[in-house]
Amino acid sequence: MASKEVLERQVFGTGEVIFRIGEPPRVAYLIQSGQVNIVVPVDDKDKVVDTLVAGELFGEMALVDSQPRSATAVAQQATTCIVITPIDFQRRLEKSDAFVRAMVRLLTKRLRKMTS
């Protein structure tokens, strides 16, 4: 019988900061329910650049390249996320073929250049 992996979940309240720009990467998140705003500073103001919903992943770039967070993530409403640890992320990435791994790293690198 195959064992099912139990992944940690974390719940965030409305307005709660999940992580801040510049913080070191610790985990990525998969939204199970709720909404998360991705926020960057623009002209001394916070600008929402994306709103993510159930089924979307965020915080993954920092796990791909081990660079500090490029944005702040804030729960727009009560939100439950599945926590993806660096070990889980790397294990899943290593299971993909070499092309997919190279593409993920390339896209992450390009996106960082565009947003720096």
Instruction: State the chain's mean pLDDT as an integer.
Output: 89
Position 96 scores a pLDDT of: 86
> What is the b/e burial string over 39-72, where b = at least 16 CB atoms within 10 angstroms of the residue's CB?
beeeeeeeeeeeebeeeeebbbbbbbeeeebbbb
3 falls in which pLDDT band (50, 70, 90)? very low
φ, ψ dihedrals at 55, nearest 5°: 95, -10
3-state secondary structure of 31: strand
The length of the chain is 116
pLDDT of residue 111: 78
For residue 109, the surrounding DSSP H or E stretch is: helix 98-115
pLDDT recorded at residue 1: 45
Could you read off the pLDDT of 29-82 as tens digits, one per residue? 999 999 999 999 999 899 999 999 999 999 988 788 888 999 999 999 999 999
Closest to 57 (Cα-Cα) out of 42, 70, 73: 73
Lateral strand order in the sheet of 17-19: 17-19, 72-75, 35-42, 45-53
**pTM value > 0.85:** no
